[in-house]
Amino acid sequence: MPLPRRKLNLPSSAPPISFCDCWAKTDANGMPGIGVQDHCLNVGIVAETLLGRLPPFLKAGLDLSHASVLAALHDVGKVSPGFQVKCQNWLQQRRVVERAIQERWASCESDHAKIGQLTIQRLLDDWRLFGWSAVIGAHHGKIKGERIAPAGIGNTGDEGWESERIKLARELIREFGGLPQHPPADEAILWFIAGLITIADWLGSDERLFPPTASLNNSQRRETAEAALETIGWKVSKLRPAMGFGDLLPGFVPNPFN
């Protein structure tokens, strides 16, 4: 149910919502499940596992050293009023229903991919590197732009929200390694990583493998990631000259290219 847009007399300097308190997934009953940090860790470790199964020649030809940290950062934009307001049960649990009305969370930017891209742009702080943030914004299959301009995004919350997004990003960077310091040698690297992030997020969001109510440790995450790849039959193909689509992906038929 949408929040009413009435005014309440609340303090204008309410404390920031910690990223540790922000939900990322809800359960079948619409209750808040695992938090944003847990989900980002899940996806970052799935990305690491995927990278470990790539053919050596592919890894040698592409600089994928930052792929896992970029994958982990994909959902930092969920630490935002426009996303958190989507779960009424979370608002009630955290006792922030009146605050959400007062601060008009329901009218804030709700595209968490776009918000996340903007936050990582700010951390990169170099226009030559903005392509790396664009692959984060594209993790649902739609490019938000090479660079997000302030005029192209709605209200993402006050400085407290951005501060929490940056805190979360720095936690993930400590876990998975630093952000790129140089532009990609080839644009193909960007879009390979964008695809890898999308697959990692798809697997890391599979509730049969990563239940929305379960918080795992990193050892459990790695075991689950390996199991996920086994479940979908992800393996390194042995390539030979003149192999066709059916040789590489038995049982599948390619879509027509129109």
Q: How far apart are CA 115 and CA 137, in angstroms?
A: 8
pLDDT of residue 101: 97
Query: Is 175's pLDDT higher than 90?
Result: yes
Domains, in order of start, for the chain = 19-204+230-248 (1.10.3210.30)
Q: Do residues 148 and 117 touch, judged by C-beta distance below 8 A?
A: yes
Give the chain's mean pLDDT.
Answer: 90
Task: Give the residue-averaged pLDDT of 68-80.
Answer: 98
Query: Is 11's pLDDT higher than 50?
Result: no
pLDDT of residue 12: 46
Confidence of residue 253 (pLDDT cuts 50, 70, 90): confident
Tokens 């990692």 — which residue? Answer: 200
State both tokens at 207: 């509730």
Confidence of residue 238 (pLDDT cuts 50, 70, 90): confident
Confidence of residue 13 (pLDDT cuts 50, 70, 90): low
State both tokens at 79: 């630490």
Confidence of residue 82 (pLDDT cuts 50, 70, 90): very high
pLDDT of residue 255: 81
Query: Is 69's pLDDT higher than 70?
Result: yes
Q: How far apart are CA 157 and CA 82, in angstroms?
A: 8
Task: Give the residue-averaged pLDDT of 92-105.
Answer: 97
Cα 257 to chain centroid distance, Å, stands at 30
Confidence of residue 42 (pLDDT cuts 50, 70, 90): very high
